[in-house]
C-alpha cells in the first residue's frame, strides 16, 4: 500500500484527488492539506510514501515547500501537480528535489500510474514537460526563462532551418514547399514571437528553448 499526502489549496480538487487515490488499488491518501505550512507541521503524524504537491498556493510557495521537505526527508518522493508548464517552474521544482512533474490536466488513470511509477523509482512527467527537460540537455544546459511558445511543428522546423543558415529558397526546396509558404510561416513566427527579423527570431528561439 502506497501512502500519499496531498497539498493543494483548491478544496474541490484536493478532495477529488483524495477520493481518486483511495479508490485505487494499492493507494491510500493518508492526509491532505490546503497549505504547505500545515503539511510541514503535521506530515510526520502520518505514514507517507509519496507527496503530491501543488505549486500555486496561498502562503508558502510549493517549490519552497519542496526544499524544506527535502531537508527533513531527503528520501521523500515528491510529485509536483500543477498547472504551470513554464521552464522556470519545472526546473526549479526538479532542482528543489521533486521526483516528477505532472500537469493538472493529467487524466486520473495516468495520475495513479504516475504515483506508482514514482514509488517504483521512476520520474513520471507529463509529455511536454519531459520534452522540455530533455531539451535542457540538448541546448547544453543553462537557466531557461519562462514564456510559452505556441509555434506549430512546422513553424519550429522553419525556424530551426533559418538558424541553420538556410535562405527561404533553400528551405522551400528542403521541405518541398513553395517559397511563398516559407514566407507565410515566417510571418506567423514573427507575429507569435513579436519580432521583426530573423536574427531576433532565432535569438528568441534560443532564449525560450524552442531550439
Tell me if 22 contacts a second copy by CB under 8 A. Answer: no
Residues in 56-85 at the binding interface with DNA, rule: CB under 7 A: none
Residue span binding a second copy (CB under 8 A) among the ranges 2-10, 24-32, 54-62, 195-203:
195-203
Based on the shown chain and the rule CB under 8 A, indicate whether residue 109 belongs to the binding site for a second copy.
no
End-to-end CA distance of the chain: 43
Contact flag: residue 211 with a second copy (CB under 8 A): yes
Question: What sign does the CA torsion over 126, 127, 130, 135 have?
Answer: negative
Q: What would the 3-class secondary structure string for 67-81 be?
A: HHHHHHCCCCEEEEE
Please list the residues that pair with 50 across neighbouring strands: 4, 77
Task: Give which of 95, 63, 67, 68 is closest to 80, Cα–Cα.
Answer: 63
Q: Determine, following the binding rule CB under 8 A, whether residue 88 of this chain makes contact with a second copy.
A: no
Q: How is residue 139 written as a grid cell?
A: 541546448
The three cell numbers locating residue 69? 521537505
Query: Residue 17 phi/psi, 5° resolution?
Result: -65, -45
CB of 12 to a second copy, least distance (A): 28
Are 78 and 115 spatial neighbours (Cβ–Cβ below 8 Å)?
A: no
Cβ 164 to a second copy, closest distance in Å?
A: 6
Residue 123, interface with a second copy (CB under 8 A)? yes
Contact pattern from residue 167 through residue 196 relative to DNA, giving x for each residue in contact according to CB under 7 A and a dash for the rest = xxx-----x-xx-xx-xxxxxx-x-----x
Asked whether the beta carbons of 168 and 182 are under 8 A apart, the reply is yes
Tell me which residues touch DNA (CB under 7 A): 150, 152-155, 167-169, 175, 177-178, 180-181, 183-188, 190, 196-198
Tell me which residues touch a second copy (CB under 8 A): 74-75, 91, 94-95, 97-100, 117, 120-128, 130-131, 133-134, 136-138, 140-143, 145, 153, 156-157, 160-165, 167, 195-203, 206-207, 209, 211
Amino acid at each position: 500500500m502506497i501512502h500519499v499526502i496531498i497539498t493543494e489549496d483548491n478544496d474541490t480538487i484536493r478532495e477529488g484527488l483524495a477520493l481518486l487515490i483511495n479508490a485505487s488499488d494499492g493507494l491510500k491518501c493518508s492526509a491532505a492539506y490546503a497549505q504547505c505550512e500545515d503539511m510541514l507541521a503535521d506530515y510526520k503524524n502520518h505514514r507517507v510514501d509519496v507527496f503530491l504537491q501543488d505549486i500555486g498556493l496561498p502562503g508558502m510557495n510549493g517549490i519552497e515547500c519542496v526544499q524544506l521537505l527535502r531537508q527533513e526527508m531527503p528520501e521523500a518522493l515528491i510529485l509536483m501537480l500543477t498547472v504551470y508548464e513554464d521552464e522556470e517552474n519545472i526546473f526549479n521544482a526538479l532542482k528543489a528535489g521533486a521526483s516528477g512533474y505532472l500537469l493538472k490536466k493529467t487524466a486520473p488513470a495516468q495520475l495513479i500510474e504516475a504515483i506508482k511509477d514514482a514509488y517504483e523509482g521512476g520520474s513520471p512527467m507529463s509529455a511536454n514537460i519531459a520534452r522540455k527537460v530533455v531539451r535542457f540537455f540538448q541546448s547544453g544546459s543553462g537557466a531557461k526563462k519562462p514564456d510559452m511558445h505556441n509555434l506549430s511543428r512546422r513553424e519550429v522546423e522553419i525556424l530551426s532551418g533559418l538558424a541553420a543558415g538556410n535562405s527561404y529558397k533553400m528551405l522551400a526546396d528542403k521541405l518541398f514547399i513553395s517559397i511563398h509558404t516559407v514566407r507565410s510561416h515566417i510571418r506567423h513566427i514573427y507575429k507569435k514571437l513579436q519580432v521583426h527579423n530573423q536574427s531576433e527570431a532565432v535569438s528568441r528561439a534560443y532564449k525560450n528553448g524552442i531550439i
